Structure 1
Amino acid sequence: MEVIQESSIREQFKSNNNTWFQNFINEYDNKMEATMKNKGYRCIHSMERTVIFTFGEFTFRRKRWKKGSKWVVPVDTMLGLEKNTRYSLEFMYQVACLSTLMSYDMVVKAIDLVYQVSITKPSVVKAVKMCGELINEKNNYRYFNEYKPKESIDILYIEGDGVMVKARENGSDNKNFDLSHFVLHTGSYEEYKNRYKLDNKKEFISMKNSSAREQLIDYIYNTYQITTKTILVTNSDGGHGYTPYIFKELAKDLNVKYHEHFWDEYHVNKLVKEYYKEMPITLLEKVFKALKKHSKSELEMVLDTTESILTSEVEEEKFSIFKRKLLNNFQYLKPAKFRGLKPQGIGIMESQHRKVTYRMKKRGMYWSKRGASTMSQMIVLSYEGKLHDLFFGPWRKEYEPYKEITNFSAADIFNYSSDERNYQLPKLALNATYRYKK
């Protein structure tokens, strides 16, 4: 018995679908005829158009109507097709989704394999650029959005760190740029055994550290009601742009009275292990024991012992830097349990980075600065389950009248864009006294 190739069946389905789709278009055109005439429109002609949908590539004819100088194509409106575009919005959304998971070249191959339609790498770039435009529009939209009551909050967690990616601008050579990444949440709960999920997680990522921080403060200011009892818990590796001072200033901006900052445990452990990797294991164990107990005297004792076995000036200089870093930041090494806090929800930054680093680093990848900024935000939106809303959410229809009326964006009004804002956010308590709890 001869085995029928599945591809031949698929081609037959495709042929049948072409006929069905054109009939579907004709029925809709005929249905709209009376409505269009009642509105004073006159059918001028029918024209062909080729569009790639998620269900295939179709060439179809549809009627074009005119009243005065205004043209209307009911079928295009019904299908959500914009003028002079070859791809449906749903198709572009799916291309954008795939681009957050794989390289642009791999997206082209995946589309060809799954949909049996051919697109090019520039088509993927177009989908990403569309996302960038929509992200800017949605940022502008919030200025026109209705006011929502703020939620009173007892505790806020904020963590920040940078992701180094290769990027270039204005035709220059590739350089390393730091994507600034902040994560905000209100706590965590045990989703299943030993697996915790963050409550009300919100991520902010930008090519500029100051921009990411401004977005973070802006979001908190408009979302949460900070009270005298609100606790702010911050965590970072202490690198440039993420020092304790940065988070102290952030606490001041938010008018938080009770602030606890942590030096990220993962980076501390990495630092200590790296330094003691060629030294007696007993010294490493004693350092960790002192850190666990948060005993500065015990830590100093171990450091003195370490210093006594050094044999060169180079080793002494290296040790001096290591010792100074530990002792100067010792207050931020105090474990959560000694501060009356639960450890869950603290030190989550590395796991939050993973989705960005997996897509945007290694494999010889490099980006334009704008492309890196857009892709990082797309990845965050995709993992938050909000990328679909970016394309199809009700906000787009609500924002449309403002675009038509003003003919310019809210960014022009407020001198604001997602990556470049030169205004200073209003301080919540300019003259308030600030007490930082160590």
Structure 2
Amino acid sequence: MNSLKSHQSFLEAEQDIMIQVSQLFTKAFGTALEELDRELCLEQSDQPILHRDQRTIQLVCGNVSYRRRLVEQEDGRHSYLLDEYLGLKPRVRYSDLLIQRVSQLASKGVLRSVAEAVSVLTPVSMSHQTVWKITQVAGQAIDEIRIAEADYRETTVAERKQLPVLFVEGDAFMIKGKGKFPKQLMVHRFQVYEGVKLNGQRRRLINRHVISSLSHSTVLKELKAYLDQHYDLSKTKLITGSDNGSGYTPSVFDDIAGMAQSHQHILDRYHLNRKIRTRLSTLPKQLVNGLIKTINHGHFNQIPAYLDTAESLAVDREALADVQLLRAYFRRNWPSIEPLGNPGFAHVVHSLGSCESNHRRYTYRLKHQGRSWTKAGLTAMLRVIDAQQNNDLEATLIKRPDFAKPLAPKIPRLIPKLLKQVKTTHQGIHHGSIVADAAYSSPIGHLAQIFNNSI
């Protein structure tokens, strides 16, 4: 009420109230952490307490400062019980929720814009370099979890789904590398989905799960682990699709199919049509469109006539060679092309090729905004984008022991106490401490230790 009365504009009043609420929350959070530290030390009262040190952690709502006790373990090791309980590593300044939120924004926007948004919308201020460091922390954590899941996780058959049809697609794209002599980095992607659901005029893939990596063997390993952990394929028809390029041939998908009841690989219609239009670019469009319609309608007996006509209309040796290459392309990929004209697959083949269109979520961030990448940086960003696409960024980070430890006592119990502290009694002198925002080996660190231990 006083804040509203003491300001001439609602904007100033809102800013003042936000500051007060943030200060109240951070003070309550700090008090809760100190009470938790006291409870932990009481539970292990046999461990001598050396001294109390202050630490500051940046939360989404602001900076929280608290003092915790340094104890000596039975083996002579010195540790902070509170930090170990919460999973806070030394010299880490940011909370788990802040890491999750910042990495989520960084996976969609440029780093400078994310830093500005964080500074404008929250009491936290950070640079674009800090945004990138936080994103790398989240990406590396997700990478460790995904590798561990592919290696060690076990799932019983009762937990796996049994579906009549399951779709798997794969494709790759190039990203510019960073360095004195930059190389193109190949990003391999696979996606699994259970079908297509119409949402108005748009189609949505059901339970889509994407996996991306710079290593083809790694992404295949994680894909097989995901299928084994979530699906029982003994009664499932597996339908796969790709452009049949290197690393995405039918034999690769045959290996993925594993214990599936049956497997049908289909060539991506987009790449097939592009191949036809490229090879026959110098010929009449009526001939090219007629060949494409012939394949779509399943009139395969007419394809030789179209190719013979194309050879007769070739104006030079190069055009003739293109027609011969297209004929060889049909012959080589015919088992994957034939299902496109099969009426039995008409209700499923329209979804194949979505892997190519879904590249945009990655390429827009990694090409247009990222410019160039190191392998480690690109791997971290791919992991964050994958988690975003799979809607499990927070759930994945919680799986890591360093994230999301349970916190007690509950903060809401402390807020009424703090609200009652409207006026404090003056004690003659002001008590305080020095916050060492630097290493304890530095001069300011030594001064902080001397000052804090003396009060």
TM-score past 0.5 threshold: yes
TM score, norm. by length of structure 1: 0.78
**What is the rounded CA distance, in whole Å, between the counterparts of 2:71 and 2:278 in structure 1?**
73
In the alignment, does 2:142 pair up with 1:138?
A: no
Number of matched pairs: 390
- Letter of the aligned partner of 1:158 in structure 2? V
Which residue is 2:304 aligned to? 300
**Match for residue 324 of structure 2 among 309, 320, 328:** 320
In structure 1, stretches of 5+ residues that fail to align are: 401-438
* Aligned partner of residue 166 in structure 2, secondary structure: strand
**What is the rounded CA distance, in whole Å, between the counterparts of 2:163 and 2:136 in structure 1?**
37
Q: Following superposition of structure 1 onto structure 2, how do residues 251-266 of structure 1 map, counting pairs within 5 Å? A: 251=257, 254-256=258-260, 258-266=262-270
Residues 341-378 of structure 1 show CA distances to partners (whole Å, capped at 9, x for unaligned) of 32253222123222111211135611111221221121
Q: Following superposition of structure 1 onto structure 2, how do residues 141-290 of structure 1 map, counting pairs within 5 Å? A: 141-142=148-149, 145=153, 147-149=155-157, 150-168=160-178, 171-190=179-198, 192-227=199-234, 229-251=235-257, 254-256=258-260, 258-290=262-294
* Aligned partner of residue 362 in structure 1, secondary structure: helix
- State whether residues 65 and 71 of structure 1, in contact with CA within 8 Å, keep that contact through their aligned partners in structure 2: yes
1:100 Cα offset (Å): 0.5
**What is the rounded CA distance, in whole Å, between the counterparts of 1:23 and 1:260 in structure 2?**
60
Alpha carbons of structure 1 residues 374 and 65: separation in structure 2 relative to 1, 3 Å: closer
1:163 Cα offset (Å): 1.6
Which residue is 1:390 aligned to? 396
**Match for residue 379 of structure 1 among 366, 385, 402:** 385
Q: Following superposition of structure 1 onto structure 2, how do residues 71-150 of structure 1 map, counting pairs within 5 Å? A: 71-72=79-80, 74=82, 81-139=88-146, 141-142=148-149, 145=153, 147-149=155-157, 150=160
- State whether residues 61 and 124 of structure 2, in contact with CA within 8 Å, keep that contact through their aligned partners in structure 1: no
**What is the rounded CA distance, in whole Å, between the counterparts of 1:21 and 1:398 in structure 2?**
20
**What is the rounded CA distance, in whole Å, between the counterparts of 1:16 and 1:259 in structure 2?**
59
Alpha carbons of structure 1 residues 265 and 31: separation in structure 2 relative to 1, 3 Å: closer
- Letter of the aligned partner of 2:277 in structure 1? K
- State whether residues 45 and 65 of structure 1, in contact with CA within 8 Å, keep that contact through their aligned partners in structure 2: yes
- State whether residues 165 and 361 of structure 1, in contact with CA within 8 Å, keep that contact through their aligned partners in structure 2: yes
- State whether residues 26 and 62 of structure 1, in contact with CA within 8 Å, keep that contact through their aligned partners in structure 2: no
- Letter of the aligned partner of 2:226 in structure 1? Y
1:260 Cα offset (Å): 1.4
* Aligned partner of residue 358 in structure 2, secondary structure: helix
Deviates further, 241-250 or 92-101: 241-250
Percent of residue pairs bearing the same amino acid type: 23
Alpha carbons of structure 1 residues 305 and 116: separation in structure 2 relative to 1, 3 Å: same
Alpha carbons of structure 1 residues 179 and 185: separation in structure 2 relative to 1, 3 Å: same
Alpha carbons of structure 1 residues 398 and 225: separation in structure 2 relative to 1, 3 Å: farther
Residues 201-258 of structure 1 show CA distances to partners (whole Å, capped at 9, x for unaligned) of 222211122221222123223332232x43221111121111223223434xx04452
- Letter of the aligned partner of 2:175 in structure 1? V
- Letter of the aligned partner of 1:52 in structure 2? Q
1:3 Cα offset (Å): 5.5
**What is the rounded CA distance, in whole Å, between the counterparts of 2:286 and 2:22 in structure 1?**
73
- Letter of the aligned partner of 1:309 in structure 2? L
- Letter of the aligned partner of 2:213 in structure 1? S
- Letter of the aligned partner of 2:334 in structure 1? F
- State whether residues 80 and 89 of structure 1, in contact with CA within 8 Å, keep that contact through their aligned partners in structure 2: no
* Aligned partner of residue 325 in structure 1, secondary structure: helix
1:382 Cα offset (Å): 0.7
Alpha carbons of structure 1 residues 339 and 277: separation in structure 2 relative to 1, 3 Å: same
Alpha carbons of structure 1 residues 284 and 23: separation in structure 2 relative to 1, 3 Å: closer
* Aligned partner of residue 283 in structure 2, secondary structure: coil
In structure 2, stretches of 5+ residues that fail to align are: 1-6, 406-455
**What is the rounded CA distance, in whole Å, between the counterparts of 2:239 and 2:212 in structure 1?**
19
TM score, norm. by length of structure 2: 0.75
Which residue is 2:446 aligned to? none
- Letter of the aligned partner of 2:112 in structure 1? D
1:262 Cα offset (Å): 1.0
Deviates further, 141-150 or 291-300: 141-150
- State whether residues 103 and 138 of structure 2, in contact with CA within 8 Å, keep that contact through their aligned partners in structure 1: yes
Residues 170-190 of structure 1 show CA distances to partners (whole Å, capped at 9, x for unaligned) of x55211121111111232333
**What is the rounded CA distance, in whole Å, between the counterparts of 1:20 and 1:255 in structure 2?**
54
What is the root-mean-square deviation in Å for CA atoms of aligned residues? 3.2
* Aligned partner of residue 172 in structure 2, secondary structure: strand
- Letter of the aligned partner of 1:258 in structure 2? S
Which residue is 1:418 aligned to? none
Alpha carbons of structure 1 residues 214 and 107: separation in structure 2 relative to 1, 3 Å: same
- Letter of the aligned partner of 1:386 in structure 2? D
**What is the rounded CA distance, in whole Å, between the counterparts of 1:225 and 1:20 in structure 2?**
48
- State whether residues 107 and 384 of structure 2, in contact with CA within 8 Å, keep that contact through their aligned partners in structure 1: yes
Residues 263-288 of structure 1 show CA distances to partners (whole Å, capped at 9, x for unaligned) of 10111222223444443232123112
**What is the rounded CA distance, in whole Å, between the counterparts of 1:349 and 1:214 in structure 2?**
19
